[in-house]
Amino acid sequence: ETGVTQSPTHLIKTRGQQVTLRCSSQSGHNTVSWYQQALGQGPQFIFQYYREEENGRGNFPPRFSGLQFPNYSSELNVNALELDDSALYLCASSGGLDSYNEQFFGPGTRLTVL
Amino acid sequence: DAKTTQPPSMDCAEGRAANLPCNHSTISGNEYVYWYRQIHSQGPQYIIHGLKNNETNEMASLIITEDRKSSTLILPHATLRDTAVYYCIVRVAGNSGYALNFGKGTSLLVTP
């Protein structure tokens, strides 16, 4: 059983650029959530995908968007990057909307915006 | 989801029990208490959760007060590898949408 994987591990972009981050969910999991973690803060919920549909969204602007694919892997896209978008981006998978035991987190992608 | 309050930092000697408190005075009857931890530069890791009964697993014990307004996570024999930020989260289990509302957590330092 493979865990949650994310790519790339590190990324440097400049203001105004666009970025795509990728996440492969744990085997058998159909729900993926994305979180942003700024330095010294707890993770903040961006949005969640369940069976390829967005199922919930946190307080993030529309330039944060996502996709979930039939194999339940997922992408996070951020347009018009701002300096404050510099953060660790975490992906978490779970076995479904009724699964309340655990969300399994990946190691994250460290995004730096210059 | 109910808001939680945790001390920003705590120290614990290696081999001793680490007791991490959490206040959740506005918790509702159907909200569970979850604990996650995040070791530096890694993704958060699930530890334990409970509703009103005390819970124990191979990692920790969770003690919830009778009025459910506070709880304590106990690491019975802390090791240096338990140094991490510990997050207490309350939410409704099985609710559609599974956003975890992390606060700032408690930074636990286990010392030799």
pLDDT 10s digits, B91-112: 766 554 567 888 889 999 999 9
B20-40 residue pLDDT tens: 999 999 998 888 899 999 998
What per-residue confidence (pLDDT) applies to A76? 98
- Give the nearest chain A residue to B50 (CA atoms): A101
- Residue from A62, A112, A61, A40 nearest A83 by CA: A112
What per-residue confidence (pLDDT) applies to A102? 77
Q: Residue B87: list chain A partners with CB under 8 A.
A: 42
> ∠ CA B98-A93-A62 to the nearest 5 degrees?
65
Mean pLDDT of the region A89-111: 83
What per-residue confidence (pLDDT) applies to A98? 59
Give the closest-approach CA distance of A71 to chain B in angstroms: 20
Task: Kindly state whether B57 is in contact with chain A, defined as any CB-CB distance less than 8 angstroms.
Answer: no
Task: Kindly state whether B50 is in contact with chain A, defined as any CB-CB distance less than 8 angstroms.
Answer: no
What per-residue confidence (pLDDT) applies to B2? 64
| CA–CA separation, B76 and B12 (whole Å) | 11
Q: Is the pLDDT of residue A75 over 70?
A: yes
3-state secondary structure (DSSP) of residue B98: coil
| CA–CA separation, B64 and B42 (whole Å) | 28
Of the partner residues A56, A100, A106, the one whose CB lies closest to the CB of residue B43: A106
Q: Is the pLDDT of residue A84 over 90?
A: yes
**More confident position, B29 or A14:** A14
Provide the mean pLDDT of chain B. Answer: 91
| CA–CA separation, B61 and B49 (whole Å) | 9
Mean pLDDT of the region B65-83: 96
Q: Is the pLDDT of residue B54 over 50?
A: yes
Provide the mean pLDDT of chain A. Answer: 91
Task: Kindly state whether B112 is in contact with chain A, defined as any CB-CB distance less than 8 angstroms.
Answer: no
| CA–CA separation, B63 and A57 (whole Å) | 32
What per-residue confidence (pLDDT) applies to B96? 45
Of the partner residues B46, B97, B102, the one whose CB lies closest to the CB of residue A42: B102
What per-residue confidence (pLDDT) applies to A50? 87
Q: Residue B57: list chain A partners with CB under 8 A.
A: none
- Give the nearest chain B residue to A45 (CA atoms): B99
